[in-house]
Amino acid sequence: MAIVVIGGHSRDVGKTSVVAGLIAALPEHDWTAFKITQYGHGICSRKGKVCHCACATSDHSWAISEEEDRSGESDTSRFLLAGARRAWWVRSEQGRLGEAMPTIERKLSESQNAIVESNSILGFLSPDLYLTVLDPANRDFKRSAREFLDLADAVILHDKALRGRDEGWDVDLDPIGKPRPIFRIQPPHYVDQKIVQFVKKRLERSSDPCR
């Protein structure tokens, strides 16, 4: 089994589109897809919304549900629509993802191959491949994305003028000692053949018993 993790520096940069694109482009991998969402204070993980009742307690510090809708209206539904065998949505309070990891790991072990939309899961497992999606036009840079940026095997970069430093970014897209490809994309096309071939080759390497 191979595990691919897709992260990104903020919301709305195309992480879900990359996951769905890879699922559709590599159907032979029989993907199980996961989306991991961490909420701030006052959000019930079970309900996925602001909750002021008794359920907004540690009893609901995390939740996981399987997606069954194939309409494409939600992110996990998009994964199924793209061809995933199963799709799971994991919600947790900020900083409490570890409590959900035994269940996540069990579901990973039941998968032929898994693709996970998350940065924070890198604090608990080492995937076979980690791609991060960056958009210089989006100034927000999540702490988890910054923390794990150097672990990325490749960067998927929105093909705009690289205004990162002008907009407050302080990141090195090509750290010393770890050269890595930077794939430039133009939304709404988030996954091209170069990205697909890169992922395919890396997964072939990870499954090679002689490597």
Question: In the chain, which ranges are E strands?
Answer: 2-8, 31-39, 43-44, 49-50, 62-66, 86-93, 113-117, 129-134, 154-158, 182-185
Closest residue by Cα to residue 203 from 2, 27, 31: 2
Against a cut of 0.85, is the pTM above it?
A: yes
Encode pLDDT of 118-157 as tens digits: 999 999 999 999 999 999 888 888 888 889 999 999 999 9
Is the pLDDT confidence value at 171 over 90?
Answer: no
**Residues contacting residue 133 through CB under 8 Å, at least 6 positions apart:** 6, 7, 8, 9, 13, 14, 15, 18, 156, 190
